[in-house]
Structure 1
Amino acid sequence: MIAWLKEVGRGKRGARDLTYEESLRAAEEILSLRATPAQIGAFFIAERIKMESVEELQAFVEACRAAAFREPPHEDGLDCAGPYDGRKKSFYASFACSFVLAAAGLPITLHGSGSLPPKWGITLHDMLGVIGIRPDELPRETLVSAAKQTGILYVPAEQWCPPLGELRPIREQLGMRTVLNTAEKLIDYSRSPYLVFGVFHNTVFDRLSRLLTTLNYRKALIVQGAEGSEDLFVDRPTRTYAVDRGSASLHVVSPEAWGLDAPVPDREWTAAAQIEASEAVLRGDADLAFTNQVLLNAAYRLHLADRVGSVEEGLYTAKAMLEHGRAWASYAEWRDLLAQNFILR
């Protein structure tokens, strides 16, 4: 580990990128905790200063995948990869959107953990707790069974990839982004061919598009969304990068072009407020901005996953799922399947 630290820790000008083979060995040393906490922290900081290369990111993703439980409960699904450090200022559109997509026949994988740095925001874990689900306590078999019945898989990442849980104390002490903030979102627990992936800075578009091509996703959409999430904005255009079988191109998504632009109301977001707004969308009585944001994201994701021939068709499909109550029914079935495990105890 010391030899690799010397290479990546020589400063902005002197540091060099590790090869894929070197990066993989470093990742394995870190994930197995054979490296010391001091070495792990130093490596994470040095990589952040240097900026991780595509080969280094790929090595950490593949090392995490090798250490994780990865079961394919459904085929041809979409993985929604948002930041594990959560939200503070924006609506979690991906959550409600997932049940619209599942109702339309597109299997969805969501994943996350308790809040992490640097944002320390509200996470899916926090939201699930509001509706009586403690995902860390659920057996994998229960989560996979619910996915097979409803089309929604939720993965508690630190249980399905144990090294992430073991490294949490070091990440909390550092209090900053590390290479794991990217790698943990790409473990691909259900081996989905389609991916929607959130980023904060558009400067990483090219690097991530090359990484996703290397990881062999059929199609992916990289989104510079709300708080670095995979959610398209509804009150302004969103920069995205579409990756399609090895080619990548920039697209700006305008909600106004689809008649969906709407001002977003100010909210004091808590986990309970996120669930309240999500359920309102699925019931059909939410604020227009939140409903429109779910519709916009659902339409683009249906198109990304080749379930519809156009974004316009995706909008009609998503609206039908909400208006006919199918999205709410999908949510209620999934929620009750998982929550009953705690009621029966």
Structure 2
Amino acid sequence: MIKDAINLLIQGKALTEKEASDAAEAIMSGEATPTQIAGFLVALRLKGESVQEILGMTKVMREKSLKVNIVGEVIDIVGTGGDGLNTFNISTASAFVTAAAGIKVAKHGNRAASGRMGAADILESKGTKLELSPGAVARCIDEIGIGFMFAPTFHPAMRFAGPPRRELGIRTIFNFLGPLTNPAGAQYQVLGVAQPKDASYDVAEALANVLADLGTKSTWIVRGDDGLDELTTTGFSQVWEVKQGNVRHFRIDPTELGLQLADLSQLQIETTEDGVEKFDVALSSSDSPERDIVLLNSAAALFTSGKVESLKSGVELSRNVVNSGEAMNKVAELAEFTQRLDKDG
């Protein structure tokens, strides 16, 4: 019962994986009331989410999501959001570079929660139809190499938690669960994780241990030292590599990869129009801070998925793909393909 879970949490006691799973089941089946859901989420956040709690809830959310059945393996480049830095959508631009370089991308995302533009917002501005069926998304991935899974469509069980989350207006465990529940079962990921100021533990390290338990093939969990939930070009980035059940931590210096150091303000946006403009600049052939940070993050995706043997060669391949116009062409290709699918019903 979710009441029992709340009682344990307010005493500062951690839930077992089973207790967390039971609570998630109560929330996602509609058994728990909105008040109980809010109480559970707040109590869990105040205590601090454990690996076992995240693991238990992730398994239930994966079970209840709609599935995208595709041929072969895919990668997702996604972030938890919530870094509060309001940058342009770096991970989405990186996803198109990765797809143009020949790696299939199953991009999972939503509209902006705390930032200016989420993945769904930038894709919609480019003409991509968001609310596609699992079969239609599978066709996108199989036929053009990239598809977008709009979170509200693929996680119908989340409708019960939605109103309490919106009314609370704070970070909850569900901010972490979304990136861990890719509907296409992506076995490769570059997952950006912001470190909440109030968290008493390292969230990136915790999620790395969750993914090690879940059996990911190869995932990089990343965070910039500037607070970005991406690999950054303003300085060092921290990486937790999860592979074959093991976690390895190291850091990346962008200057060692031939990239220029940027100022964070060069990557930030004030309006949605700024977001679209910087997205376009990032995928153009001109040198820019926007392009450099996208090259770095797409290089990580290419390396993680085994396309290249080093991060440096990933940067070079990414640069070639962007300079040739293939990455920007992929943006238009996805928009046109989804419009055709939407029209065909």
State TM-score, norm by structure 1.
0.90
1:125 aligned residue: 120
Q: Alignment partner of 1:135: what SS?
A: coil
Q: Which amino acid aligns with 2:277?
A: E
* 2:183 aligned with 1:182: no
Unaligned runs of 5+ in 2: 196-200
Residue 18 of structure 1, aligned match among 3, 15, 20 = 15
CA distance in 1, matches of 2:243, 2:275: 32
Change (3 A) 1:69 1:228: farther
**Shift in Å, 1:288:** 1.0
Q: Which amino acid aligns with 2:320?
A: A
Task: Check conservation: 2:83, 2:227, Cα contact below 8 A.
Answer: no
5 Å-filtered alignment, 1:143-182, equals 143-182=137-176
Q: Which amino acid aligns with 2:4?
A: A
**Shift in Å, 1:91:** 2.4
Instruction: Count how many residue pairs are aligned between Structure 1 and Structure 2.
Output: 337
2:217 aligned residue: 218
CA distance in 1, matches of 2:226, 2:111: 17
**Shift in Å, 1:26:** 0.9
Please identify runs of 4+ aligned residues in structure 1 that moved more than 6 A.
342-345
5 Å-filtered alignment, 1:1-345, equals 1-10=2-11, 15-83=12-80, 89-116=86-113, 119=114, 121-136=116-131, 138-201=132-195, 203-225=202-224, 230-264=229-263, 265=266, 267-285=268-286, 288-340=288-340
Change (3 A) 1:37 1:247: same
**Shift in Å, 1:290:** 0.9
Task: Check conservation: 1:218, 1:244, Cα contact below 8 A.
Answer: yes
Change (3 A) 1:205 1:31: same
Q: Alignment partner of 1:224: what SS?
A: strand
State TM-score, norm by structure 2.
0.90
**Shift in Å, 1:88:** 5.3
CA distance in 2, matches of 1:284, 1:272: 20
Q: Alignment partner of 1:155: what SS?
A: strand
**Residues 312-338 of structure 1 deviation map (CA, whole Å, 9 limit, x = unaligned):** 221221122122222222222112212
**Residues 155-193 of structure 1 deviation map (CA, whole Å, 9 limit, x = unaligned):** 111111112233211101111111111111111211111
CA distance in 1, matches of 2:88, 2:291: 11
**Shift in Å, 1:226:** 8.5
Task: Check conservation: 1:74, 1:151, Cα contact below 8 A.
Answer: no
**Shift in Å, 1:86:** 8.4
Q: CA RMSD in A?
A: 2.3
Q: Alignment partner of 1:220: what SS?
A: strand
**Shift in Å, 1:133:** 3.2
Q: Which amino acid aligns with 1:16?
A: K
Task: Check conservation: 2:126, 2:332, Cα contact below 8 A.
Answer: no
Q: Which amino acid aligns with 2:178?
A: E
Q: Alignment partner of 1:79: what SS?
A: strand
**Shift in Å, 1:9:** 1.4
Change (3 A) 1:229 1:307: same
Q: Alignment partner of 1:111: what SS?
A: strand
CA distance in 2, matches of 1:198, 1:329: 25
**Shift in Å, 1:153:** 1.7
CA distance in 2, matches of 1:342, 1:102: 22
Task: Check conservation: 2:237, 2:252, Cα contact below 8 A.
Answer: yes
Task: Check conservation: 2:239, 2:252, Cα contact below 8 A.
Answer: yes
Question: Which range moved further: 291-300 or 141-150?
Answer: 141-150
CA distance in 2, matches of 1:314, 1:23: 39
CA distance in 2, matches of 1:279, 1:344: 29
Question: Which range moved further: 83-92 or 170-179?
Answer: 83-92
**Shift in Å, 1:120:** 5.2
Change (3 A) 1:206 1:107: same
Q: Percent identity over the alignment?
A: 26
**Shift in Å, 1:279:** 2.4
Task: Check conservation: 1:5, 1:42, Cα contact below 8 A.
Answer: yes
